[in-house]
Amino acid sequence: MTYIVTEACIKCKYMDCVEVCPVDCFYEGENFLVINPNECIDCGVCEPECPAEAILPDTEDGLEEWLEINTKYSEEWPNITVKGETPADADDWKGKEGKKELLSTNPGKGD
């Protein structure tokens, strides 16, 4: 099993999660973060840190697509270990449904 980042992170990207990960396995896209499932040690520390409740164990039902997204983009996007600037409109997007089509495949800046 692994933890993965899901739809609720899109355009929220608070980044509280990256600071607590003991193995630095978060990767940054333009408006989304992913976890590298091959590096995550399943410690679960990041899950309660996410204000958007976007981090879930992949053992929950219906998350196959998000596992694929985390796997794919963690190979392409830069690593991020330090909390960056939260988008100004992050709170407006928190809890919104149907954000998946807004997921940018562009890489973020990383650190």
Give the one residue of 12, 66, 93, 108 binding ligand SF4; rule: CB under 6 A: 12
Site size toward ligand SF4, by CB under 6 A? 26
Residues 50-69 that bind ligand SF4 (CB under 6 A): 50, 52, 54-55
Q: How far apart are the first and last CA of the chain?
A: 27
| CA 106 – CA 109 distance, rounded (Å) | 10
Nearer to ligand SF4, 41 or 76 (CB): 41
| CA 86 – CA 67 distance, rounded (Å) | 24
Is residue 19 at the binding interface for ligand SF4, with CB under 6 A as the rule?
Answer: no
Q: How far is the CB of 43 from ligand SF4 (least distance, A)?
A: 4
Regarding beta strands 33-35 and 55-57, do their DSSP bridges make them parallel or antiparallel, or are they unpaired?
unpaired
Residues sharing a CB contact under 8 Å with residue 96, sequence separation 6 or more, in sequence order: none
Length of the chain: 111
Q: How far is the CB of 2 from ligand SF4 (least distance, A)?
A: 7
- 29: number of Cβ within 10 Å: 25
Q: How far is the CB of 6 from ligand SF4 (least distance, A)?
A: 8
Is residue 80 at the binding interface for ligand SF4, with CB under 6 A as the rule?
Answer: no
Give the one residue of 27, 29, 35, 66 binding ligand SF4; rule: CB under 6 A: 35
